[in-house]
Amino acid sequence: MKQKGLGTSGSGHVISLRGITKRFAHVVANDGVDLDIRPGEVHALLGENGAGKSTLMKILYGFYHMDSGSILIDGTEVRIASPLDARALGIGMVFQSFTLIPAMTVAENVAMYFKDQPFALNLKSIAGRVRELGATYHLMVDPSASVRSLSVSDQQKVEILKLLVGGARVLIFDEATSVLAQHEISGFFEILQRLKADEYSIIFITHKLAEVMTCADRITVMRKGKVAGTLMRAETTEQNLVKLMFDEGLQPSNTARSDQATTAQHEPLMELQGVSTRPKGIGIQLVDVSLHVNAGEIVGIAGVSGNGQRELVDVVLGIAPPMQGKRLILGEDATAWNAGQIREKGVGFVPDEPVRMALVPWMTLCQNSAIGNLDAYVRAHGFSIDWLAVEKDIAASFEALGFEPLPLHMPVQRFSGGQIQRSVLAREIGRKPRLLVAFYPTRGLDVRSAEAVGSVLTRLRNEGGGVLLVSEDLDELVSLCDRLVVIRQGRIVGSVCHDAIDRHAIGYMMTGSEVSR
């Protein structure tokens, strides 16, 4: 049964954005953008990282203030000064990083979403509404469950339920599938279709062409802060979308495995021997893990998210000590080494959350590059830094990697996801690491940025370095890796060379299912 929507203007649009412009210092994030949103439709907002997609939607949600332009709701111009204003107008947004409180229950988190709270919350009523909406839209979660006990996909359902219970009719999803495992994405698309059938307006921000072609009704492509075009999904192809995204077709990929790297140089750069870790909170305990990465090879780690990948990386990098077993770096016993000692031996790291783990957000690109390798730039016994040398090295790294230059003196928090990841890669590769640990390095990146990351990893391997690549993208692993190791519940359950990779067998190993022959 269809519910009543916000209503539409005479043009059939629930929301119209006109001439939206937003600047951050000297960077124009949105440049005179027009966009129309209709009821009962999935409208994909597509573009490479830095195209202006998320900025535009954060303006609609009141997170940013536009410099010029207008927003019309049902044909009437409105002022949205904050997310509270947006919620009052029936607009809700699910961000890439969830805003839930882990210690609270589902019902309590939903209740916290509302502005005006009574002294005593009627959690029973809220729980009933959660169950009702959950059954209607396949968002079933236990209202009494603690959020910390939920899977990532169930936490995302709670974020959606918050908006629905709060009365939102326009739902904005910012890179919603980036946190989901492959088998969870189809379920998410089914949820969108059910919401669409009840006349909800859905805006789906993404950079993934295949997902757009699966779930969207209309597609608006953004490029360099402007709208490059709006098309009906049925009337376009992935090739046409790529041309709109990049103003030209993608260049042929150079991430393919090189024949010169099919046999590693048999010099172990890193080795774990029977490593186990202590149980810690809700994390996964590693059990009897043996793993090695040789010079001249990329070793991929495949597994369903949350099966010990992060714990494995923490042990390799010296963030977590082994409880049992040994860790060797460049042939030396590094079991007792800390992260600083391991880094000094030539181990680099590209994390999945670079703003939190590899950069200081309010510092500039130049400052972040300097603190990542202070010994190389400190002068006058620690009283000064050679900033000219820092700038020179940044320029050299970007040029060597084929990256477009970025503003050296802009806070990195203003960069797009792709720009941030390229900054980290340039810094780490600039240190000339013997081993690079890449933890979900392409998560959330557009196709061109992902290609750039793959090219960097391939180049390092071909020059005799080693790469430990953790990814949830099986296609990426198969494309890049010389060996593929499968982890499940903290144990290594399989290891295969590239030529012997069977995708179905890998999938069965990841899930613990029986392989059917």
Per-residue confidence (pLDDT) for residue 260, from 0 to 100? 47
Per-residue confidence (pLDDT) for residue 34, from 0 to 100? 96
Decide if 15-246 and 268-511 have a common fold.
yes
Per-residue confidence (pLDDT) for residue 120, from 0 to 100? 52
143: left (phi over 0), alpha (psi -120 to 50) or beta: alpha
User: 268-511 has which fold?
Assistant: Rossmann fold (3.40.50)
Per-residue confidence (pLDDT) for residue 305, from 0 to 100? 72
Per-residue confidence (pLDDT) for residue 332, from 0 to 100? 94
CATH number, span 15-246: 3.40.50.300
Q: Which residues lie below 8 Å from residue 476, measured CB to CB, with a gap of 6+?
A: 442, 450, 454, 469
- φ/ψ of 224, rounded to 5, equals 55, 45
Quickly state the pLDDT bin for 24 (edges 50, 70, 90). confident
Q: Calculate ∠ Cα 393-399-402, nearest 5°.
A: 140
- 8 Å CB contact between 303 and 508: no
Nearest to 288 by CA among 327, 336, 325, 328: 325
List pLDDT tens digits, range 387-435.
999 999 999 888 877 788 889 999 988 887 778 888 888 888 888 899 9
User: What share of residues in the chain are helix, strand, coil (percent, to 5)?
Assistant: 40, 25, 40
Strand 297-302 relative to strand 324-329: parallel, antiparallel, unpaired? Answer: unpaired
Quickly state the pLDDT bin for 262 (edges 50, 70, 90). very low
Measure the CA–CA gap between 389 and 391, rounded to whole angstroms. 5
Measure the CA–CA gap between 49 and 224, rounded to whole angstroms. 9
pLDDT at residue 94 above 70? yes
Higher pLDDT, 255 or 353: 353
For the chain, give every domain's residue range. 15-246, 268-511
Taking all residues of the chain, what is their mean pLDDT, rounded to a whole number?
86
Per-residue confidence (pLDDT) for residue 254, from 0 to 100? 52
List pLDDT tens digits, range 26-67.
789 999 999 999 999 999 999 877 789 989 999 999 999 999
Measure the CA–CA gap between 449 and 173, rounded to whole angstroms. 21
**Among all chains, which residue has been given the structure tokens 């005179």?**
32
- 8 Å CB contact between 24 and 175: no
Per-residue confidence (pLDDT) for residue 72, from 0 to 100? 96
Measure the CA–CA gap between 238 and 207, rounded to whole angstroms. 12
Quickly state the pLDDT bin for 1 (edges 50, 70, 90). very low
Taking residues 257-271, report their average pLDDT.
64
Taking residues 292-307, report their average pLDDT.
89
- φ/ψ of 72, rounded to 5, equals -115, 130
Measure the CA–CA gap between 188 and 44, rounded to whole angstroms. 15
Nearest to 458 by CA among 429, 484, 421, 419: 429
73-112 burial, b at 16+ Cβ within 10 Å, e below that, comes to bbeeeeebeebeebbebbbbbbbeebebeeeebbbbbbbe
pLDDT at residue 517 above 60? no
List pLDDT tens digits, range 154-172.
899 999 999 999 899 999 9
- 8 Å CB contact between 161 and 110: yes
Measure the CA–CA gap between 199 and 201, rounded to whole angstroms. 6
